[in-house]
Amino acid sequence: MEEKERKEKFLTDSGIEIRRVYPKLNVEEEQPGDFPYTRGVQSTMYRSRFWTMRQYAGFSTAEESNKRYHYLLNNGTTGLSVAFDLPTQIGYDSSHEFADGEVGKAGVAIDSLRDIEILFDGIKLENITTSMTINSTASILLSMYIALAKKQGADLKKISGTIQNDILKEYAARGTYIYPPKPSMRIITDIFAYCSKEVPKWNTISISGYHIREAGSTAVQELAFTLANGKAYLKAAIDAGLDINVFAKRLSFFFNAHNNLFEEVAKFRAARRMWARITKDLGATDPKAQMLRFHTQTGGSTLTAQQPHNNIIRVTTQALSAVLGGTQSLHTNGFDEAIALPTEEAARIALRTQQIIAYESGAADTVDPLAGSYFVEALTNEVEEAAWDYIRKIDAMGGSVSAIEQGYLQNEIAASSYKYQKDIQTGEKIIVGVNKFTVEESPLKDIFTVDDTIRQLQIDKINKVKAERDNEKVKEILSKLDSSARADINLMPVILEAAESYATLGEIADTMRNVFGEYTG
């Protein structure tokens, strides 16, 4: 007699039914490194080199963040990932009235090239890769980074890293946009064109599903909406006259790793296969232009303030899904991040989680270790088909930009978020320590906080920079930026000029605001 099962029906977070037993599948014979790259974009994967172990960090002033970067590098981090505060993300100097109360809180405050010089003091940009989570002001922050590389005497052909630069997901899920979609897409294609010639190893966009997932989407929606946005960027660049076989090599992706281990692995595998077909259909013939390379961050929204040490186990499971799914780089969240910025101890445990998976678990010793699993192969197919259904709907609307303007992506994400929270409240979904296995607990004692007085420190630095720079030269360059924005001229060279002259981030962003206006949704 069969035992009664725990549920009548088992579903993934995307609503895909999970069968009790999976039959044998006729899996298409495919080798890692071969089109369509389901099993990985390199033939050897982690047997040759581990993924880049990044830790996302940035808070307070550039001086304080620089100390954390040296701490992480000394503990084995192999790439830096910079978090910027909200004023920096939306193009306001720390002295702006809108910045009050937000300076240095969600990330590091950057007001001018001087802050970038301090942020990377003692760090050779040629020797590391840097990921910058920045979108509407990506052109400005990248220009400041290039300006510092030039001051260090670095070979710009060798510096490497990534800017997120994904404005479409800002309209759909996150909200740190400045300009309307059309000029925003122009700035992005300007970055593509400039970097392909001047900084060829730089990844010019990290098309982000992470924030779509954090806003409440399912795994399938994260995959579908991210790749649909990717198609929009490809088409915009092609329309601007760029060669897909050149610029597509420098596109990368940024995915979330959530709690359902097998669905996440299937999502990553399906993503590579789908992107290979999308790029090929749009004319890519170079294999490197067809490969989906991605960074993963464990799910911030899955972290709980209740029993926060449980988050260490959640992060481990999520990180393992990213490794089993073939990520190129990975950030693991600190266990205390539902409460505050991570302490040094939490950041170290998060990094050690990656190192233990790499060096002790055996998960990195063979390529695509779950390949051939009836469950994983079937789930990869089902996730892919469900994602294609969404993409077909978006294409019928005229693509991602049109679908966002019609509110389609936003509404789909909101509906999924509502259902997820409702399932937690009803107990349909169990979150350990939240709606089951709860205990009386004391709050964490060791909490990292940012002092509100740092805003004045930043204002003092801005005033000092303005007193020491050539203000006439700055005025002249900003005027040139204004006229370039009104013409059909690539904006990156003049933004770089402005950064090198110590124009502030707010001055540069405002110059473009005056031309392009602001998007209000």
Residue pLDDT, tens place only, 300-343: 999 999 999 999 999 999 999 999 999 999 999 999 999 988 88
Using alpha carbons only, what angle is made at residue 16 by residues 12 and 21, rounded to the nearest 5 degrees? Answer: 85
What is the pLDDT at residue 456?
A: 94
Give the range with max mean pLDDT: 24-33, 63-72, 126-135, 385-394.
385-394
**Nearest Cα to Cα of residue 62 among 125, 124, 126, 111:** 111
Contact in structure between 158 and 130 (CB atoms under 8 Å): no
Rounded to the nearest 10 degrees, the angle between the axes of helix 62-74 and helix 344-360 is: 30
1: pLDDT strictly greater than 70 = no
What is the pLDDT at residue 333?
A: 95
pLDDT digits (tens, 9 = 90+) for 391-406: 999 999 999 999 999 9
* Kind plus residue range of the DSSP H or E element containing 402: helix 400-405
Pairing of the two strands 160-163 and 79-83? unpaired
Mean pLDDT of the chain: 95
Q: Distance between CA atoms of 123 and 80, rounded to whole angstroms?
A: 10
- Listed in sequence order, the residues at least 6 apart from 275 whose beta carbon sits closer than 8 Å to its beta carbon are 227, 230, 253, 290, 291, 292
> pTM of this prediction?
0.92
446: pLDDT strictly greater than 90 = no
425: pLDDT strictly greater than 90 = yes
- Listed in sequence order, the residues at least 6 apart from 322 whose beta carbon sits closer than 8 Å to its beta carbon are 51, 255, 257, 264, 268, 296, 298, 330
274: pLDDT strictly greater than 70 = yes
294: pLDDT strictly greater than 80 = yes
- Going from the C-alpha of 466 to that of each of 93, 113, 119, 238, 510, the distances in angstroms are 13, 12, 19, 40, 16
Q: Residues 100-125: what's their mean pLDDT? A: 95
Q: Distance between CA atoms of 131 and 126, rounded to whole angstroms?
A: 14
Q: Residues 227-235: what's their mean pLDDT? A: 96
Instruction: Say how many C-beta atoms besides its own lie within 10 A of residue 365's C-beta.
Output: 11
Contact in structure between 331 and 55 (CB atoms under 8 Å): yes
DSSP state of 132: E
Peptide bond into 369 cis (omega under 30): no
- Going from the C-alpha of 95 to that of each of 46, 126, 136, 178, 459, the distances in angstroms are 46, 32, 19, 18, 5
Q: Cα torsion for 453, 456, 460, 463, to the nearest 10°?
A: 160
Q: Distance between CA atoms of 367 and 47, rounded to whole angstroms?
A: 8
What is the pLDDT at residue 442?
A: 87
Q: Residues 495-509: what's their mean pLDDT? A: 98
Contact in structure between 204 and 163 (CB atoms under 8 Å): yes
Q: Which residues pair with 77 in a beta bridge?
A: none
CA-based R_g, the chain, Å: 23
What is the pLDDT at residue 2?
A: 74
Starting at the edge strand found earlier in the chain, the sheet holding 129-133 runs 202-203, 160-163, 129-133, 79-83, 52-57, 329-331, 294-298, 251-257, 205-208
Burial class (CB in 10 A: 0-12, 13-18, 19+), 189: buried
Instruction: Say how many C-beta atoms besides its own lie within 10 A of residue 471's C-beta.
Output: 13
- Going from the C-alpha of 156 to that of each of 160, 202, 353, the distances in angstroms are 9, 9, 33
Q: Distance between CA atoms of 133 and 165, rounded to whole angstroms?
A: 8
209: pLDDT strictly greater than 90 = yes
Q: Distance between CA atoms of 56 and 69, rounded to whole angstroms?
A: 10
Q: Residues 191-217: what's their mean pLDDT? A: 95
What is the pLDDT at residue 34?
A: 97
Q: Residues 495-518: what's their mean pLDDT? A: 98
pLDDT digits (tens, 9 = 90+) for 70-104: 998 998 888 888 999 999 999 999 999 999 999 99
Q: Residues 234-241: what's their mean pLDDT? A: 93
55: pLDDT strictly greater than 80 = no
The share of the chain scoring above pLDDT 90, in percent, equals 88
Contact in structure between 410 and 172 (CB atoms under 8 Å): yes
- Going from the C-alpha of 236 to that of each of 166, 183, 186, 243, 283, the distances in angstroms are 13, 11, 8, 11, 14
Contact in structure between 332 and 271 (CB atoms under 8 Å): no
Q: Residues 24-34: what's their mean pLDDT? A: 88
Residue with tokens 């709050």: 443
